[in-house]
Amino acid sequence: MKRLPTTKTENTKARIKRKLLNLFPAYWGTGAKAVFLSSDFKEVQIRLKLSWRTKNYVGTIFGGSMYAATDPIYMIQLIEILGKEFVVWDKSAAIRFLRPGNKTLFARFLISDELILNIQKEIREKKEMDLNLSVDFEDDSGVVYAKVSKVLYIADKQFYKNKKEKREQIKREKQAQ
């Protein structure tokens, strides 16, 4: 199986972006491969094969490869979906291993329309937020091997810029004293 079943489609622009992600050295080094990127960026699938590049000391998929394979995906999705008026940063992450990764694993990153509306509403009201998202690594029969939790920081771009400038001003004032 190359990827998990989906009802979404991948257009040429999404296919090119997916291929560029796979060529990016930091992502290529994880041993993972993005195998699907929906045209609306609301679904991304990655595949992580057990291979010489991903194998750990005991012969299963290295946990660092699992984590690194998931690291940029939600952030990239939200940047693409929300647009240039928002700032999106990874803030923290955790991974919980449920069983040894002894075969090819898949992860599906889904962003719903409802989630996007909730993010936009909270940013309009509070200007910034922390968002908790998770993704599972599973085999092609749906058995879960690991769970990754991510916290992302999202803010209105102008609010973030003003906040950053205030911090820098305070820093300069302290240095001048």
Reported as a pLDDT band with limits 50, 70 and 90, residue 12 is very high
- Residue 174 is predicted with a pLDDT of 83
pLDDT of residue 6: 80
> Taking residues 42-56, what's their average pLDDT?
94
Across 67-82, b (16+ Cβ under 10 Å) vs e yields bbbbbbbbbbbbbbbb
User: CA–CA separation, 6 vs 111, rounded Å?
Assistant: 14
CA angle 37, 41, 44 (to 5 degrees): 40
Q: What are the tens digits of pLDDT across the range 114-172?
A: 999 999 999 999 999 999 999 999 999 999 999 999 999 999 999 999 999 998 988 88
DSSP 7-75: S----HHHHHHHHHHHHSHHHHTTTEEEEEE-TTSSEEEEEE--STTTB-TTSSB-HHHHHHHHTTHHH
> What is the pTM (predicted TM-score) of this model?
0.90
pLDDT at 13: 92
pLDDT digits (tens, 9 = 90+) for 59-106: 999 999 999 999 999 999 999 999 999 999 999 999 999 999 999 999
Structural domains of the chain ordered from first start? 12-176 (3.10.129.10)
Task: Give the pLDDT of residue 108.
Answer: 97
Residue type, 150: K
Quote the tokens at residue 33.
């491969």
Report which residue type is found at 141. Answer: S
* Phi, psi of 71, deg, nearest 5: -45, -55
Q: pLDDT class for 173, splitting at 50, 70, 90?
A: confident
Confidence of residue 1 (pLDDT cuts 50, 70, 90): low
Q: Give the list of residues 6+ apart from residue 118 with CB closer than 8 angstroms, or none.
A: none
